[in-house]
Amino acid sequence: MDSGAGEYGMARFGFLVVLMGLWRFSDACPESCTCSISRIVCIDSEPGIEDFPVLTLDDMENITEIHIANQNRLFDISDSSLRNYINLRNLTITKTRLTSISSDAFYNNTRLQYVNLRDNNLSMLSWRTFQNFNISYPLLLAGNPLDCVCENLWIKLRLQEEMESSELTCTDERGVTMDFATLTPPDCVVPKVEVIPKTVTEMEGGNAQAVCTASGSPVPLIQWNLDMLSTHFEIESLDMENSLSLTGLSPDDNGKVIVCSAENMVGQDEATLLLNILFPPTIQHLLSPERDHHWCIPFTVTGNPKPVLHWYHENKLLEEQDYIRTMIHESTENEDHGCLQLVNPTHIHNGEYRLVAKNEFGRDEKTVLAQFIDPPNISHPDDDYYPDPPLPPLDDSVAVYVVVGIAGVALTGCVLMVIILKYGRNSKFGIKGSSSVISNDDDSASPLHHVSNGNNTPSSSEMGPDAVIIGMTKIPVIENPQYFRNSGSMLKSDTFVHHIKRHNIVLKRELGEGAFGKVFLAECYNLVPDQEKIHVAVKTLKEATESGRADFYREAELLTNLQHEHIVTFYGVCVESDPLIMVFEYMKHGDLNKFLRSHGPDAVLMADGQHSILVELTQSQMLHIAQQIAAGMVYLASQHFVHRDLATRNCLVGENLLVKIGDFGMSRDVYSTDYYRVGGHTMLPIRWMPPESIMYRRFTTESDVWSLGVVLWEIFTYGKQPWYQLSNNEVIECITQVRVLQRPRTCPKEVYDLMLGCW
């Protein structure tokens, strides 16, 4: 099939998909409501609604605003009514017969910014309804027949500094209406709680006791949060006091914070108890040496207080120096994970290593045999290069998925290699702008010169400001004309750039900023047939100089030619006035690096304190991501394009784990530590570059294949920075000596073999 017919077929298929999506959306939207991509409005009283509209899960997740009015059959909001509207920001329910709201009604709606509940039939409203997030906006309740009762006193405390409070009234048991600000029900006091002592310091196996005392009226309910506690406990309850007895204190509970809470109908208060459990050291793991940039003997040690560590080599105390020292990579309340690092060890360092850990309560020791070898090449015996414990066996269905995924990645890699053989030596374009990739001039391939001692050592002035010092050797990093300079284009002669009217673009919020200008989330009207508006990402040009405009148009023509399911869609430009704008497809979940980190073992560090329901990515999902990126790179190679900055930060994630290659130019600002600054202005992604790209003026399809291998490594480490433990100069030294990244702990051997094949 020719490319024109293929594109026509894909367009027709996409059109049918859009039609099916619109049909599904309109079918699920109630008759009294209007539903768009991000908004639901229900204001028609007939036939009316009894509950919130139930759309598809994806459609509900896209809704940010709901407006409901004039509904005579809406009486309550249950726990499940808004459960799937997780991105809801604005909620208006007015002039309905709403009488009750469940205490967990807004449990999943942590992004709410505006709540308007005016003119309904609410007589009582619990503080528990809003306990899952901090309300920093007015809560509009005027026009409701609120009762002057203790259950509603929290509203007065919440609104006492807001203008809304002057409009609120309540009705007492005699039917008398009064200003809400004067509400003072008898025996109605917010709880206060105190825990004594605040910290427990005891030996493991010992016992401890703490008392939680509360005040408030009505009498508050006192509770200890003990769900994650390993130590045996008993609770003795009195009216205003709870006594917690801990027996056989477990070291697993060291550093844990136990919360005591007291709540009544007026509100809630909390206090904490910190457990400081003392125990002697235990060396849990002491493993055989592993090779990374340097040799490393890994260990895991527990103990409180933190134990002091001493190493012995052949029963002789080891004096730590710059070339042999203890490195702690990760530290928690109970454990230290680290290694004994040895820089360039020789045969004299072979032998028995003994680790001794001591604190004031005891000691532990373990030994391991070390046999050091010369720096490895990329072909490693399995026993030397795979020190990680074997991965747990998968069940049959997951195993099949993984095997199929590995086969898919392997097949894509094979196709990529074929294309390299066919096109690699003739690549003429980079995705940042078209230019010659390989020059036949002598100076374009001049190798890197390592100059040591002698009269021929060039001075720093001779080598220029872009030289890099590695060890005692200064290496000139050559500016690559393909990476920094635009040249003639070989775009299709019939390239047509779609022009979009300025009034059809409505900016919503800023997504980021790069050297070129800002990127915004926007709504674009009349862009897709039969769809009023869609979300897009727009890239603006900060300075519309003559050269800047020329680059802008050249890039627009280049992007117009890229049409693939795993390349971010370029819709067109808007050049009616400054700033000049490029319009791209909007990918909901942002860049892949952030997505990986927020779905990995360290996701809690990315949550910003918010309630998170994100789950860790599985191996099959990581393989699916890798296959999509490989497919996109196969397409770029077939089109004679060289990306030159392939990394997870430059890939975007959409719905249903759809991954596309794209770069809005923001990554060099957001991920500045991923780039190496040369000469004060040039930024190089050296951690993703092969030796020939660092040492010579050479960016080819082959160098993109190297970067693809690094991207696979990023995926299976949940977004870690390659060579994260090394400085930029050490990374350059490491790569130019043909050393490679170690196999990630979660990576199957077959996938790591693919990485090695890329390198």
For 48-82, write each residue's pLDDT tens digit: 999 999 999 989 999 999 999 999 999 999 999 99
Q: Domain 590-604+616-756 has what CATH class?
A: mainly alpha
Lowest mean pLDDT: which of 209-223, 414-428, 512-526, 547-561? 414-428
Return the SS3 of 299. Answer: strand
Q: What is the DSSP string of 362-426?
A: EEEEEEEEE---SPP-S---HHHH--SPPPPPPPHHHHHHHHHHHHHHHHHHHHHHHHHHHHGGG
What's the chain's length in residues? 759
The DSSP output letter for 604 is G
189-277, what's its fold?
Answer: Immunoglobulin-like (2.60.40)
- ω into residue 579 within 30 of 0, thus cis? yes
Q: In the prediction, which pLDDT does 431 show? A: 37
Beta strand ranges found along 70-153 (DSSP E): 76-77, 90-94, 100-101, 114-116, 139-140
Spatial separation of the C-alpha atoms in residues 706 and 713, rounded to whole Å: 11
CB atoms within 10 A of CB 382: 7
* CATH code 2.60.40.10 region(s) in the chain: 189-277, 287-370
Spatial separation of the C-alpha atoms in residues 632 and 327, rounded to whole Å: 40
| Range 710-727 average pLDDT | 93
Q: Percent of the chain at pLDDT above 70?
A: 75
Strand order in the sheet with 189-196: 189-196, 207-217, 241-247, 232-237
* CATH code 3.30.200.20 region(s) in the chain: 502-585
Q: Which residues contact 635 (CB under 8 A, 6 or more apart)?
A: 562, 564, 566, 567
Q: Which amino acid is at 498?
A: H
CB atoms within 10 A of CB 693: 25
Residues with catalytic roles: 645
Q: Which amino acid is at 199?
A: T
CB atoms within 10 A of CB 197: 12
CB 11 within 8 A of CB 35: no
* Better-predicted residue by pLDDT, 185 or 388: 185
CATH number of 287-370: 2.60.40.10
* CATH code 1.10.510.10 region(s) in the chain: 590-604+616-756
Tokens 């390349």 sit on residue: 567
How is residue 263 written in tokens?
């709540």
| Range 625-637 average pLDDT | 93
Give, for 326, the enclosing helix (H) or strand (E).
strand 324-331
Annotated binding site for ATP: 511-519, 539
pTM of the complete model: 0.45
Spatial separation of the C-alpha atoms in residues 639 and 633, rounded to whole Å: 10
* Better-predicted residue by pLDDT, 743 or 483: 743
Q: Domain 33-145 has what CATH class?
A: alpha beta
CB atoms within 10 A of CB 412: 21
Q: Which amino acid is at 630?
A: A
Q: What is the pLDDT of residues 95-136, one digit of tens each?
A: 999 999 999 999 988 888 889 999 999 999 999 888 776 556
CB 434 within 8 A of CB 489: yes
Phi and psi torsions of 363, nearest 5°? -150, 160
* Better-predicted residue by pLDDT, 695 or 607: 695
* Beta partners for residue 752, in sequence order: none
Strand order in the sheet with 433-434: 433-434, 429-430, 641-642
Q: Which is the CATH superfamily of the domain at 502-585?
A: Phosphorylase Kinase; domain 1 (3.30.200.20)
Is pLDDT at 223 greater than 70 in this prediction?
A: yes
